[in-house]
Amino acid sequence: MQLGTRWTSGDDAPKAVPDALRRGIRSVDDAMPADELGQPRPRWTLTWLEGKPIAELDTGVIVELDADGEAVVRHDPEDGFG
């Protein structure tokens, strides 16, 4: 059993996050516009489903690994933004 974790977008991902997933997360973080109003940044949640890591941002963005071990970014269709 692997436990998940949370961290704030823009911060370094925890060591438990595989490198390929980390690169996908960083690409999402880098693409987010700066908040000039000083609102809190969304947070990532790392979970493990059947031994595979999945990172989900509070906004509904999901980063997971495909069959080749490459990061894939998608949106949760149930978050209201999809």
- Establish if 36 belongs to a structural domain: no
Cα separation, 42 vs 4, in Å, equals 17
Both tokens of 9, joined, read: 């977008």
- Establish if 14 belongs to a structural domain: yes
Give how many domains the chain has, as a whole number.
1
**Are 73 and 28 spatial neighbours (Cβ–Cβ below 8 Å)?**
yes
pTM: 0.84
Domain of 27?
A: 5-31+41-75
Which tops the pLDDT comparison, 1 or 54? 54
- Establish if 19 belongs to a structural domain: yes
Both tokens of 65, joined, read: 């690994």
- Establish if 80 belongs to a structural domain: no
- Establish if 82 belongs to a structural domain: no
Residue 2 is predicted with a pLDDT of: 67
**Which residues, including other chains, have CB under 8 Å from residue 37's CB and lie 6 or more apart?**
none
